[in-house]
A and B are shown apart, each in its own frame.
Chain A
Amino acid sequence: MNNDRRKVFMTAGYQTVSMGSGRKEFHPKKPRPGLEDYIKEAGQGTLKQIGGGQNVDEGVISNFMAARFNRQGHLAALIPSVDETLRWKPCIRVEGACGSGGLGLMTAVKSVLAGTADVVLTIGVEVQNTVKAIYGADYLAGAGWYKGERKKGHVYFFPALFSDRAGATFEKFGRDKTRRAFARWYRNAVENARLCETAQEFHNTTADLEALGLTEPNPRNFVEHLNVFDCSKVSDAGAAIAVVSEKGLERIGMSKSAAVEVVGWGQVEADLTVPPEDPTRLETTARAVKKALDSAGIALKDLGTVECHDCFTISGLLSVEAMGLAKPGEGPDYILDGQTSRQGTVPFNTSGGLIGWGHPTGGTGVRQAVTVWQQLTGKAGNWQIVLPSGRPYALSINMGGNDKTVVAIVYRRAD
């Protein structure tokens, strides 16, 4: 990567509550905040920390499927609804399925690099509890190849794609240990979420999470190799962060100690119409992570925390292997050894990840950046970890579809 580029920072992150089943205040039949409310709350949450909308040069909004979940397109024009000073400024909406957030961050990063902006307000949002899960599954299936895959696909299209990956993994490396690793992943996710008041599983009180995680899958009502605890939930949430240049930091009066620097990234696209060559590997994720680490000039041993895209326990496990932390087939041991837990070598998903915090699909990438920013700048409240010494870097991995769009970003504290 070109090293004489401008420096890019992120700061002033904000996340709303991840609303949906699991939250005490959630009632499927009662009125709830809508898309506009989450955009506003998240956007204003960031603007308040950076001196208001007049300091913003551009707006980016990441979203996957508001056109179906909320019957709303044209989201760029909702950015000015956050604050009237944003009116007449350049805004753009970015879509890459569940990787939309990562693409939004990269869009903002590139604006800063191009020098067309010094402060970019980046918002990610998805509001999915507007329909029953069975119809939401149709909408989310849009992250796959509709023409080639949907008809022969399952009712729960995406859970089934990852169930197939789980099945292939069971066959290759053994079912029992892999399922125990899934259950441990679930437990870690919920235990982390219990520390973070905005997390969807914050109110979870289950005593034996691993036993629950080991519930046998029921293919009659769901998919063959995964149970519902292996899946992230249906979430409504928004997140926002400011992507800024050095000049931008000055403009908003933010010290470097309250910002993270983006030191490397990998943005990789696979062909939507081509099925994965090896279902037990996340090849696109592996490529994106390698690019990100190479561009940052660091190695795995430098990472102090990771936000990975655990839309399912199997994707969490395969991410560990795709990163190279464990060899193919050894991810379960790595997880069962506790290495991904908050006490582990590299704590993963410290506010719960997609399974514990929630998965507002198109907004998740931005939420991951917010969690990283919170951890690196000491703003993580009860879910704060202390980065192991000699490991100052963090990595986020945001994946769209069945490992098709992946954005991996490497961060470190800016001061």
Chain B
Amino acid sequence: MNYADRLENVAVLGAAGKMGSGIVLLTAMEMADLKLEAGAVAKDYVLQAIDVSPKGLSGLIQYLRDQVLRAAEKKAVGLRKAYEGRQDLVENEDIVNQYVEDVLSVVRPTTKIEAAYDAGIVFEAVSENPELKVKLLSQIKANNTKNALFLTNTSSIPISELNDKVKLDGRIIGFHFYNPPAVQKLVEIIRAEATVPDLADFATQFAKKLRKTVVPSHDVAGFIGNGHFMRDALHGIAEAEKLAADMTLADAVYVVNKVSQDFLIRPMGIFQLIDYVGVDVCQYILKVMNDRMPGAKLHSALLDRVAALGVLGGQFADGSQKDGFLKYGKGRPTGVFNPDKKAYVPVAEIAARRDEKLGPQPAQAKPWKQVISLADKAAFLDGYFNELREMTTPGAELARTYGRRSKDIGLGLVKDRVAARDEDVNTVLLTGFYHAYGPINHYFD
């Protein structure tokens, strides 16, 4: 079966979720593009967007409409050519609107899992819960009429485990998008040992057609992305707990978050990233990894404590950030959670008593957003980290320790054969986490 035939009938599970909606968007656009390329002889492409939440599904349609419109405006030059045979479509607006309609007409939102029974491709993006995934995939496998291929967006569960438990005989592969899938360039592709070559070929071609950067990861729980992020987060949490001997925990969280963002020139501090992913999601992922790597000590009591208080982070339906370790106003941290008092301490208040003690950033510092688009980024980073290396302030010391730990984590992933080479680890952090530099570097040696 060729690539276009395989995509004729696709089911996405968890279609209304953060990741699922992005997967629906990209897949539906790819299907509409294939249909346009084929012209009059095109088959009927169908994407079953399956989710338990009817409300989520109506939100999905609105999301798709907005996103496809934006994508169509961006690729209008190509779309004018694609629709050149349609005499009724003359202006850009006609063409853009037609494309939105063509993409949306591929998508069939439904709450019924039975819709996946006729799908040739099943893309799974439900929550990161191994039992749930196994249950749903087993049910589909037992009833599917097309001997479907399965792609899973899991960010932590080994693919071999899903393959064995669902008895898929290698008809499954890990295809891990980063959040949000429509924007983030990275896809981690994870082949289980048993994954059939046909599926691996399909996955590679699919990623290429979506213009994603592919990094292969070995089938080890957490893969490269969470393999780094979870350990990096645990380091941040441990540093904060250490600092809390001399200050309140809220102050310590503020300090570590600031150092990991500003001093290390990252897009967000580590606690903001935990909130972005979701405190509970981090908890799930750690549990999945810890259960499968005995002795790895991938666990945080603080995370459990905060989650138990119902402080979970994550995002609202409109994409705005929910409060977690930090409180947010217009997307920026405005407070830090104090678990003892179950209340947020204003950031300004903590900054007033901590920033000076922490010491300044290197004089040549620039914000992350500027740094990533610098033409001579490498030279800038060399200069910046040389300066940081010479500083003896507590902030600089924390930053150096953090950078070294991040590098050790990266090297560990290569040593443990999760990543084939240093470059793959760096690519994941650069493209999946938008870091300005890879963790495996010489800046902290």
Known: A154-B80, A221-B77. A135 touches B92 (CB 8 A): yes
Q: Is B244 at the interface (CB under 8 A from chain A)?
A: no
Chain A 126-140 near chain B by CB (<8 Å), digits 1 or 0? 000000101101100
Known: A150-B91, A155-B92. A134 touches B73 (CB 8 A): yes
Chain A residues within an 8 Å CB radius of B92: 134-135, 137-138, 155
Q: Is B121 at the interface (CB under 8 A from chain A)?
A: no
- B86 to chain A: closest residue by CB: A151
- Residues of A122-178 contacting chain B, CB below 8 A: 132, 134-135, 137-138, 141, 146, 150-152, 154-155
Chain A residues within an 8 Å CB radius of B78: 220
Which of B76, B78, B91, B96 has the most chain A CB atoms closer than 10 A to its own CB?
B91
Q: Is A222 at the interface (CB under 8 A from chain B)?
A: yes
Q: Which of B77, B84, B87, B90 contacts A220 (CB 8 A)?
A: B77
Chain B 50-79 near chain A by CB (<8 Å), digits 1 or 0? 000000000000000000000001101110
Chain A 215-230 near chain B by CB (<8 Å), digits 1 or 0? 0000111100000000
User: How many A-B Cβ pairs are below 8 Å?
Assistant: 30
Q: Are B93 and A135 in contact (CB under 8 A)?
A: yes
- The smallest beta-carbon distance between B83 and chain A, in angstroms, is 10
Q: Are A155 and B76 in contact (CB under 8 A)?
A: yes
Q: Are A132 and B73 in contact (CB under 8 A)?
A: yes
- A141 to chain B: closest residue by CB: B91
- B73 to chain A: closest residue by CB: A134
Chain B residues within an 8 Å CB radius of A150: 90-91
- B89 to chain A: closest residue by CB: A151
A222 and B80 CA atoms in complex are apart in Å by 12
Chain B 305-323 near chain A by CB (<8 Å), digits 1 or 0? 0000000000000000000
A344 and B91 CA atoms in complex are apart in Å by 42
A219 and B91 CA atoms in complex are apart in Å by 19
Q: Are B76 and A138 in contact (CB under 8 A)?
A: no
Chain A residues within an 8 Å CB radius of B87: 151
**What is the interface residue range for chain A against chain B?**
10 to 19
Which secondary structure dominates chain B's binding surface? helix
- A151 to chain B: closest residue by CB: B90
Q: Are A134 and B90 in contact (CB under 8 A)?
A: no
Chain A residues within an 8 Å CB radius of B90: 146, 150-151
Q: Which of A134, A146, A151 contacts B96 (CB 8 A)?
A: A134
Chain B residues within an 8 Å CB radius of A135: 92-93
- A219 to chain B: closest residue by CB: B77
Which of B74, B76, B84 has the most chain A CB atoms closer than 10 A to its own CB?
B76
- A156 to chain B: closest residue by CB: B77
Q: Are B73 and A222 in contact (CB under 8 A)?
A: no
Which of A146, A151, A154, A219 has the most chain B CB atoms closer than 10 A to its own CB?
A151
Chain A residues within an 8 Å CB radius of B73: 132, 134
- The smallest beta-carbon distance between A348 and chain B, in angstroms, is 32
- A147 to chain B: closest residue by CB: B90
Q: Are A222 and B91 in contact (CB under 8 A)?
A: no
- A218 to chain B: closest residue by CB: B77
A264 and B84 CA atoms in complex are apart in Å by 46
- A150 to chain B: closest residue by CB: B90
Chain B 235-279 near chain A by CB (<8 Å), digits 1 or 0? 000000000000000000000000000000000000000000000
Chain A residues within an 8 Å CB radius of B84: 152
Chain B residues within an 8 Å CB radius of A220: 77-78
Chain A residues within an 8 Å CB radius of B74: 221
Q: Are A154 and B91 in contact (CB under 8 A)?
A: no
Q: Which of A138, A154, A221 contacts B93 (CB 8 A)?
A: A138
A296 and B90 CA atoms in complex are apart in Å by 44
- The smallest beta-carbon distance between B100 and chain A, in angstroms, is 13
Chain B residues within an 8 Å CB radius of A152: 84
- A160 to chain B: closest residue by CB: B77
A220 and B74 CA atoms in complex are apart in Å by 10
Chain B residues within an 8 Å CB radius of A154: 77, 80
Chain B residues within an 8 Å CB radius of A134: 73, 76, 92, 96
- A135 to chain B: closest residue by CB: B93
A152 and B91 CA atoms in complex are apart in Å by 10
Chain B residues within an 8 Å CB radius of A132: 73
Chain A residues within an 8 Å CB radius of B77: 154-155, 219-222
A146 and B90 CA atoms in complex are apart in Å by 9
Which of B77, B78, B90 has the most chain A CB atoms closer than 10 A to its own CB?
B77
Chain A 103-114 near chain B by CB (<8 Å), digits 1 or 0? 000000000000
A266 and B281 CA atoms in complex are apart in Å by 73
A221 and B74 CA atoms in complex are apart in Å by 7
A344 and B267 CA atoms in complex are apart in Å by 49
- The smallest beta-carbon distance between B99 and chain A, in angstroms, is 12
Chain B 80-107 near chain A by CB (<8 Å), digits 1 or 0? 1000100100111100100000000000
Chain B residues within an 8 Å CB radius of A151: 87, 90
Chain B residues within an 8 Å CB radius of A141: 91
Which of B74, B84, B92, B96 has the most chain A CB atoms closer than 10 A to its own CB?
B92
A147 and B409 CA atoms in complex are apart in Å by 64
Chain A residues within an 8 Å CB radius of B96: 134
Chain B 88-132 near chain A by CB (<8 Å), digits 1 or 0? 001111001000000000000000000000000000000000000
A37 and B92 CA atoms in complex are apart in Å by 29
- Residues of A207-257 contacting chain B, CB below 8 A: 219-222
A222 and B74 CA atoms in complex are apart in Å by 10
- The smallest beta-carbon distance between A122 and chain B, in angstroms, is 32
If A138-B91, A154-B80, A219-B77 are given as contacts, then 5 extra A-B residue pairs at C-beta distance below 8 Å, sorted by A number, are: A134-B92, A138-B92, A151-B87, A220-B77, A221-B74
Task: List 14 A-B pairs, Cβ < 8 Å.
Answer: A132-B73, A134-B73, A135-B92, A135-B93, A138-B91, A138-B93, A146-B90, A151-B87, A151-B90, A154-B80, A155-B77, A155-B92, A220-B77, A220-B78
* A contact set with B: CB distance below 8 Å: 132, 134-135, 137-138, 141, 146, 150-152, 154-155, 219-222
Complex A-B, nearest 10 residue pairs according to Cβ-Cβ distance, in ascending order: A138-B91, A155-B76, A151-B90, A138-B92, A155-B77, A134-B73, A134-B92, A150-B90, A155-B92, A155-B80
* B contact set with A: CB distance below 8 Å: 73-74, 76-78, 80, 84, 87, 90-93, 96
